[in-house]
Amino acid sequence: MNTSIPLCIDLDGTLLNSDLLLEAAFAQLKQAPLSTLRWPIWLVDGKARLKAEMAERVELDIATLPFNPELLAFLREQKAAGRRLALVTASHRSFAEQVADHLGLFDEVLATEGDRNLAGSHKAEELVARYGERGFDYAGNAAVDVAVWKHARRAIVINAGSALVDQARAVCEVEQVFAPTEKPGRHWVKELRLYQWLKNMLIFVPLIAGHGWDQPDKLLLALLAFFSFGLCASSVYLLNDLLDLAADRRHPRKRRRPFAAGKLPIAHGIVVIPLLLFAAFGLSLLIHPDFTAVLGIYYIFTLAYSLRLKRTLMLDAIVLAGLYTLRIIAGTAAVQIMPSFWLLAFSMFLFLSLALVKRYAELWTLRERGELGAKGRGYHIDDLGILESLGVSAGYLAVLVLALYVNTETSRALYGQPLAIWLICPALLYWISRVWLVTHRGEMHDDPILFALTDRNSRYTMLVCVVIFLIALPR
């Protein structure tokens, strides 16, 4: 190893399994959505100005960023051997210097500042002027880095496929390759939250409650609605994760989400989000205009929730309950069944209770970590008691709605043994009480809906409710 030759390291996608410009963009979008309307104006003056304006308005939590551990270990070895290291990046200087200060590895920082975007040929010119032709080694990860490797002594290729390695070899000697160690497929399955599609089973509830499951045409429409909602929901999950990068990285479990952990490029998410949304609404057009309208309302509210409403005290829980209820309304729109007042009221109270379970569990975790409240959420540790009281009350109100429904003309018209539905009430009282006891003990580590599907006692309770429902049906 020739320690007299400086090693220059790119930042975005190389030392960092992310892109600071995109990180800053989503941070600004979450912080001040309307300010993003100025991006095109800044971009007219060049990419350097866009980066400068974002850097001035956004603070990034550098310590939690997903650095490349293998490359970091290599750089520490190089530094220990006495080699000069330079961080050379197209990111804005303010971000680059924060990274350099955090890592404590670099002797020099070259970055975008003023009106010069330090990427591609501009980066090559700067390095040649500073170190001379073939007077430096360079670590990069993208096709734009080939312009730098043309003037470098040796190349270190990071997180790239064989095609880029071949391009690097065509212009200089390749010293080392840090190839991706994981396949992206499983990370996409996790990021798309396919398991969350189980929540969209609520779309089938109106069909079941209206006893229309024996009509193949309506069943097909409900199935198409299920997939349409699933695609739309996955699009929202991706967007939400990109907006919550900083918060997720501070969370003990959410930090393992693919975007937060740097397992998937943010740029890929930006492409996939509109594709999923286009597919969702395209599929909705095959169902019914009413369903398309409900899907649009669902997306608008989920977008508002991601950008603002999730940070509004109590309104966040009510909106979550409303989004679950919208799934049931979507089911009625898909199969053209009039929504039942009783069903919607039952849904709203039940899912408000479960939304408060989620908030309580998050606050309980924060209390165990010694924090005083949920940053950006509006909740404090002292709110645990009132959240528990409100949540249990909402759950019991859902059971009350069901009990009142039993004695209506509607239930007598739909069920041969409507009084049998009374037996569902104690089963639900047991389940809601147990969920809140588990939550109160700090043992609710999952989304409460997923808890219901994986918990043995919850499955037994659901089975009992299904049997009672079948007994109540017309003979």
> pLDDT of 395-444, one tens digit each?
999 999 999 998 888 888 888 888 888 999 999 999 999 999 999 998 88
Q: Is residue 192 part of a domain?
A: yes
Give the C-alpha separation, 1 to 153, whole Å.
13
Q: Are residues 278 and 358 in the same domain?
A: no
Please give the pLDDT value at position 326. 95
Query: Can you tell me the mean pLDDT for 330-343?
Result: 90
Q: Is residue 2 part of a domain?
A: no
Please give the pLDDT value at position 229. 95
Name the domain boundary from 156, 181, 206: 181
Q: Are residues 24 and 88 in the same domain?
A: yes
State pLDDT tens for residues 2-42: 668 999 999 999 999 999 999 999 999 988 888 889 999 99
More confident residue, 251 or 7: 7
Q: Are residues 34 and 169 in the same domain?
A: yes
Q: Are residues 189 and 285 in the same domain?
A: yes
The one-letter code for the residue type at 70 is E
- The answer to whether residue 1 scores a pLDDT higher than 60 is no
Q: Is residue 1 part of a domain?
A: no
Name the domain boundary from 314, 337, 360: 337
Q: Are residues 353 and 471 in the same domain?
A: yes
Give the C-alpha separation, 279 to 356, whole Å.
32
State pLDDT tens for residues 150-182: 999 999 999 888 899 999 999 999 999 998 777
The CATH number covering residue 258 comes to 1.10.357.140
Query: Can you tell me the mean pLDDT for 228-235?
Result: 95
Please give the pLDDT value at position 441. 92
- The answer to whether residue 113 scores a pLDDT higher than 90 is yes
Q: Are residues 250 and 129 in the same domain?
A: no
Q: In what order do the strands lie in the sheet with 108-112?
A: 108-112, 85-92, 7-9, 137-140, 154-158, 173-178
Q: Are residues 207 and 307 in the same domain?
A: yes
Name the domain boundary from 272, 304, 337: 337
Please give the pLDDT value at position 179. 84
Give the C-alpha separation, 411 to 454, whole Å.
31
Q: Are residues 61 and 175 in the same domain?
A: yes
- The answer to whether residue 350 scores a pLDDT higher than 90 is yes
Q: Are residues 165 and 247 in the same domain?
A: no
Please give the pLDDT value at position 357. 95
Q: Is residue 320 part of a domain?
A: yes
- The answer to whether residue 366 scores a pLDDT higher than 90 is no
Q: Which residues are within 8 A (CB) of 140 and not within 5 positions of it... i.e. 6 or more apart?
A: 10, 14, 148, 149, 155, 156, 157, 158
Q: Parallel, antiparallel, or unpaired for β 85-92 and 7-9?
A: parallel
Find residue 85's DSSP bridge partners.
Answer: 7
Q: Is residue 260 part of a domain?
A: yes
Q: Which of 98-102, 106-110, 304-308 has the lowest mean pLDDT?
A: 304-308
Three-state SS at 157: strand
Please give the pLDDT value at position 389. 95
Beta strands in 105-189 (DSSP E): 108-112, 137-140, 154-158, 173-178
Count of alpha carbons within 13 Å of 319, Cβ hemisphere only? Answer: 20
Averaged pLDDT score across all residues of the chain: 91
Give the C-alpha separation, 365 to 361, whole Å.
6
The proportion of the chain whose per-residue pLDDT surpasses 70, expressed as a percent, equals 97
Please give the pLDDT value at position 433. 96
- The answer to whether residue 191 scores a pLDDT higher than 90 is yes
Please give the pLDDT value at position 252. 80
- The answer to whether residue 335 scores a pLDDT higher than 60 is yes
pLDDT-derived band at 183 (thresholds 50, 70, 90) equals confident
pLDDT-derived band at 295 (thresholds 50, 70, 90) equals very high
Please give the pLDDT value at position 374. 58
Per-position b or e across 129-147, b if 16+ CB within 10 A of its CB: eebeeeebbbbbbbeebbb
What DSSP assignment string belongs to 416-428?
Answer: SSGGGGGGHHHHH
Q: Are residues 363 and 444 in the same domain?
A: yes
Q: Are residues 252 and 281 in the same domain?
A: yes
Report whether 61 contacts 249 (CB < 8 A). yes
Please give the pLDDT value at position 475. 53
Domain count, the chain: 3
State pLDDT tens for residues 142-158: 999 999 999 999 999 99
Q: Which of 219-223, 236-240, 320-324, 336-340 has the lowest mean pLDDT?
A: 336-340
Q: Nearest 5 degrees, angle CA 408-CA 413-CA 416?
A: 105
- The answer to whether residue 325 scores a pLDDT higher than 60 is yes
Please give the pLDDT value at position 373. 56
pLDDT-derived band at 203 (thresholds 50, 70, 90) equals very high
Q: Is residue 162 part of a domain?
A: yes
- What Rg value do the Cα atoms of the chain yield, rounded? 27
The proportion of the chain whose per-residue pLDDT surpasses 90, expressed as a percent, equals 72
In this structure, is the dihedral angle defined by the CA atoms of residues 129, 149, 95 and 116, taken in order, positive or negative? positive
Q: Are residues 246 and 289 in the same domain?
A: yes
The CATH number covering residue 94 comes to 3.40.50.1000
Please give the pLDDT value at position 372. 60
State pLDDT tens for residues 435-468: 999 999 988 876 788 788 888 999 999 999 999 9
Residue 427 belongs to domain spanning: 340-475
